[in-house]
Structure 1
Amino acid sequence: MAVPEPTPEPAATTAASSPLSTVWTVASLLGTALTSTVKHYTVGAHAPTWTLKTSIMTNIIRHKSGIDLASRQKNPPKTADDILRLAVETRTATEKMIAKDADKLEDGVVKVVDVDVKKRELGGLLAELSAQEDGTRKLKAEWLAHASLLDGTKRLSDKVILSTHGGAHVRCSPATHRAMHTEMSGATGCLVFSVDYRLSPEVVFPASLLDAVHAYFYLTEDLKIPPSQILVEGDSAGGHLALQLLMYLRDAGLPQVGGGLLLSPWVDMSSSFASWDENRLIDYLALDDPHDPLRPSRLYLTGTDSSKEASYRDLLTHPYVSPSLAPLSSLSSLPPLLIQGAGLECLRDEDTVLARRLRKAGNEQVTHQVWMDGVHVFQLLQADRAGKEAMKSLAEWVERTYGSAEAGAGEWKQKPLELLKAERNARIARVGHLATSKPAAPHGFKWEKTVERLADVGVKKEGAIEAAKQAADEANAVADEMAQSEVYRPVRA
């Protein structure tokens, strides 16, 4: 998930940060966004479900990202320390804007826990990083449940969702995704275990994968949860990390989880596909400028070392880095997957390519859903309309694939339930009640589902790498059912 980048001006431009200047900047930003919003809102044939708030928010995020990018390019960071400082300041500001206070979370209960990163001898991609661990590090995570699962209003599933949040690998946290995870927990009947994995540029690929693997071990070894009862979920960069985890478990010969839930997964770090150009002025993402000193893919792959251009380009086509471009052999033998994407997002094409090539690699249970009025991670940004419908569809897919969300065998539930119920009671003691959401206002839309082949995928006119062109050609050659997607279009009810 990409979010506003409120990057401070460099020291050389401190004068521009006076109160009067700040007011003027905000007013200008709102004016530009509103002008663009009016144009978008009045011609919104693709997105009739958009509220004025959705239009304003997407435009503000997009324009603010553009302003911040121009500032960075005009006054680029000069040292690695400058890059790190700007990245951390951006992350901190983002967290302050969108993180949900646990005591104010509507309908959900959260309990933060520490996970021991035990000394292990992991192989393959994680061998070197694993050897550096001394068994003393702690990994933060949080258990989350919809309140209805704690009071018995809804039945608790025997599945658990292991979640890796989005944020372009450089920002966000479990706290920024609590509202979406609460909705997911209520829809599926599952407890959610959300991992606060390490971010870049402080660490680089594949450090976050190591954290995800240790979260898996916490569930399977410490809590004794059968791997088949774990569903790995992630949005955007978190969807990328979730898919990495599935690939690593396969490659390391570890017991595979039950399946994956990938929401707008970011699976082409070269940003080569044509939907980047087609949806740039509708979606809010800003990840693909090759001249951005804080380009997330660079921070993720090479950190603050701007001299590693050759390493960066080589890593862009690593199967774990850009799965949509990976050889088919790297995409085979994976568990059931649900990929939920959006018709108006910049990642639309790479997710389409991934779904088709996963099927071509021999994975029979790959469901690709496209919500035509959605932007990137619309399940969070458009939560009251398309997002809510998509969450219902996700829950239906889980039930269809694994059975109904009924209480099943498993002593593992006792520990997280005790933690969550104790936290619920402590929260009531602190603030007097659990916040509950208001019923969503009627919006007069429904989403009609068709099963069809989406248009063939192209690549950008400028900047596309050869591996993406080959992947697009291969995806376009996929025929019949292997090329089909579930397409959801909004219509007046």
Structure 2
Amino acid sequence: MTWPMSLLTGSCNNKELEDTEQPKAEVQSRPQSAPQAPKDLLRHYAAPGVPLPPSARIGDPKLKQREREPFRLTSLWKYGAFAAWKASDLVSAVVSHQLRGPLKKSWGIQMTILTCIMRDVSRHSHLADIAMIRLVMGISGLVPVPSDALVTPVTFQVRPRGLRGILADFDAAEDGSRELFGEWVVGKRTWRRIQAERRAAKRETSGSTSSSPHTNTIHLKRRERVVLYLHGGAYYTSSAATHRLITIPLSKSLDARLFVLDYRLAPETRFPGPLHDAVSAYFRLIFDLQIPHNDILVAGDSAGGGLTLALLMYLRDNGYPLPGGGILLSPWVDLTMSCDSWESNAQFDVVPPPLPGDHLNPIACYLGEHMEKYLTHPRGLGSAEG
């Protein structure tokens, strides 16, 4: 199981850089057991509020999240020492890649470098805070849009929709004044095709003797796919802009338009706030923009993949129109960290498991004071049948 690349947590293994007040992660050996089928594992989460499974690695959900230590000038040496140590480790990783080959045969030099950088940073969470992480991750959003793509920022108002279930109270609090942000992403080749098909369909409609002069209905010969994309980032960082390196190529590959949502982030907004935003964006597409629900795909990576699954389950369980399908890119769907892959893939994972109580623990940031209530809630992890 792969964690979001923007997660910067973990314990420090370098004695010279280790913060004296930073607790160490306890490494416990687990008895080997026969692997269970996914359906068998998911039965544990059939209802909200069930106890944690024996294989959970989340720690005590009642543990209060620590505050980050205030910055002091006397701590500047730690940043310099960390940078020097990371640079040395990076050189070692590159040399090893060239001489011995990558850790995995499928890895290129870029993946080796990325893994080395992220592993090093994640072991020193006491040197960073969420604002710093957002600033660093935001750099990727400054990359110019390629000449063969179009990106159009948009805003829309969140309207009360009479939502049911877990979002009923959130929906009732809306008065139509709150705005959400996002952007339309499309390859120019795809956009030219769509425009040409619309012009051709409009000419056929206007020339038809059976068409009404009072209708603007255009019947395209080809169904136009639209993708609602939910970005990753541990639920507390990244944006539509930072994920253009993913969304632009995806738009070209699918030959479709993408609507990439900037949902509200933790810890300012806890679960199920981001789910409410995702539902609002989906309803914006099918009800306000009149895009047939069967022509919509919902996609997301990492935390966005988990949010995608939560959206699909919410729509299914409350009887709303379902999209045509979903695309989950390395989704984070297990907040309890119960999967054996945390150990079996430890040497390959970009980011190690977060420490319980760490100020950058994304699970604590996402669930907050509702940790015990929502940690095993089916909207975060549950049956995906149906």
TM-score normalized by structure 1?
0.56
Tell me the CA shift for residue 314 of structure 1: 4.1
Who wins on radius of gyration, i.e. which is larger? 2
User: How far apart are the structure 2 equivalents of 1:132 and 1:263?
Assistant: 32
Which AA in structure 2 matches 1:17?
Answer: L
For the 8 Å contact 1:105–1:179, the answer to whether it is kept is: no
1: CA distance between counterparts of 2:133 and 2:92?
26
Aligned residue among 71, 92, 99 for 2:135: 92
Shift of 1:25: 3.1
Indicate if the aligned counterparts of 2:9 and 2:123 stay in contact, CA closer than 8 A: no
Once the two structures are superposed, the pairs formed by residues 336-355 of structure 1 within 5 Å of their partners are none
Aligned 8 A contact 1:240 1:265 in 2: yes
Aligned equivalent of 1:468:
none
- Cα distance in 2 for partners of 1:179, 1:106 equals 13
Counterpart Cα distance in 2 of 1:45 and 1:190: 35
Give the Cα separation in 1 of the matches to 2:133 and 2:240: 17
2:181 is the counterpart of 1:128: no
Q: Map of 1:68-217 to 2, 5 A cutoff?
A: 68-69=125-126, 71=127, 86-96=129-139, 98-101=140-143, 103-105=144-146, 107-152=148-193, 158-217=224-283
**In 2, Cα distance between equivalents of 1:287 and 1:112:** 35
Shift of 1:23: 4.8
Equivalent of residue 314 in structure 2, options 219, 237, 248? 248
Q: Distance in 2 between matches of 1:89 and 1:240?
A: 24
How far apart are 1:221 and its partner, in Å? 1.3
Higher RCO (C-alpha under 8 Å, 6+ residues apart):
2
One of 206, 218, 222 as aligned partner of 2:284: 218
Cα deviation, residue 157, structure 1: 5.8
**Contact 1:301 1:315 survives alignment (8 Å):** yes
List per-residue Cα deviations over 1:328-367 (Å, max 9, x = no partner): xx4222xxxxxxxxxxxxxxxxxxxxxxxxxxxxxxxxxx
CA RMSD of aligned residues (A): 2.7
Distance 1:144 1:231 in 2: 14
Amino acid at match of 1:216: Y
Where structure 2 has 5 or more consecutive residues not aligned to the other structure, the ranges are 11-67, 198-221
* Among 2, 5, 8, the residue aligned to 1:2: 5
The one-letter code of the counterpart of 1:221 is F
Structure number having the greater helix percentage = 1
Distance 1:298 1:94 in 2: 20
Task: Name the structure 2 match of 1:60.
Answer: 117
Which AA in structure 2 matches 1:30?
A: A
CA–CA distance in structure 2, aligned partners of residues 33 and 240 of structure 1:
31
Match of 1:321 in 2: 380
CA contact (8 A) 1:5 1:94 kept: no
Instruction: Using the aligned pairs only, state the percent identity.
Output: 36
Contact 1:139 1:196 in 2 (8 A): yes
CA distance in 2, matches of 1:288, 1:42: 32
Equivalent pair of 1:99/1:177 in contact (CA under 8 Å):
yes
Say if 1:234 and 1:265, in contact at 8 Å, map to a contact too.
yes
Aligned with 1:136: secondary structure? coil
- Where in structure 1 are there 5+ consecutive unaligned residues? 73-85, 303-307, 334-493
Match of 2:85 among 28, 53, 59: 28
CA drift at 1:268? 0.4
Moved over 6 A (4+): 153-156
What's 1:447 paired with?
A: none
Q: Which amino acid aligns with 2:86?
A: L
User: Which position in structure 2 is the counterpart of 1:332?
Assistant: 385
Aligned-partner SS, 2:153: strand
Q: 2:307 aligns to what SS in structure 1?
A: helix
Give the Cα separation in 1 of the matches to 2:75 and 2:146: 36
